[in-house]
Amino acid sequence: MVTRLSVNINKIALIRNARGSNLPDLVQVAKDCEKFGAQGITVHPRPDERHIRYDDVPALKPIVSTEFNIEGNPTPRFLELVLAHRPHQCTLVPDDPQQLTSDHGWDTIKHEGFLKDVIAQLQEAGIRVSIFCDPEAKYIEGAKKTGTDRIELYTGPYAEAFAHAPDKAIAPYVAAGQFAGALGLGLNAGHDLNLDNLRFFSQQVPHLLEVSIGHALVVDALYYGLEDTIGRYLNCLSI
């Protein structure tokens, strides 16, 4: 099984928004990412729309030919957007409104009832659901009880520890992958994965279906170009 690469294009939108124009053209970049081999496109609209705007979603939905993944905090406005445009996957993330970036998974025990209701709405609309989750057995078990299809492991701690202690950094994610597989949950991962740490992660973590990568990939594209960069990330995933 080869893990799929979904490219998060939020940072492309951030560059576009800096000048108030349509450069770079977000729709064209999404098309090019797929042409260069990406197996999915991810967007994460936040309330302040500082990168992906809510009106980007209806423009992107018809042209994404691989997998369209919308992630975010399931506020009423967010859910209205997702249900109106029905992506292939919706990833639920417990972001605060002013949060710079996602930095923790759901407390699936505390929020079980809320997540159950949201997940049921999305699944009824034919949308696969993944929820952002820390690599802890109690939260993964809690995720199973919500009815979610998949979990997305928050990989920030792994990325931070990888350089000086890769075996220690990966250990909880290996255990999480094994546990998720035993429970029948699909497994995604994302946050601060890059060309240095991605191959090791994908080689070690079992049942890994998909990674979502944005910031590091866009930074690398400044040096290597978008096509070469996507090829490098795909190579990391071709175990």
d(CA 236, CA 211) in angstroms, rounded, equals: 11
Look at residues 31, 37, 18, 35 and name the one whose alpha carbon lies nearest to residue 61.
31
Query: In which element (H, E) is residue 15 found?
Result: helix 10-19
Catalytic residue among 67, 71, 152, 210: 71
Catalytic residue among 67, 152, 191, 210: 191
Look at residues 85, 47, 50 and name the one whose alpha carbon lies nearest to residue 69.
85
71 is catalytic: yes
Catalytic residue among 44, 51, 67, 210: 44
Dihedrals phi, psi of 65, to nearest 5 degrees: -100, -5
Polymer length of the chain: 239
Whether residue 31 contacts residue 59, with contact meaning beta carbons closer than 8 Å, is answered with: no
191 is catalytic: yes
164 is catalytic: no
* Active site positions, annotated: 44, 71, 191
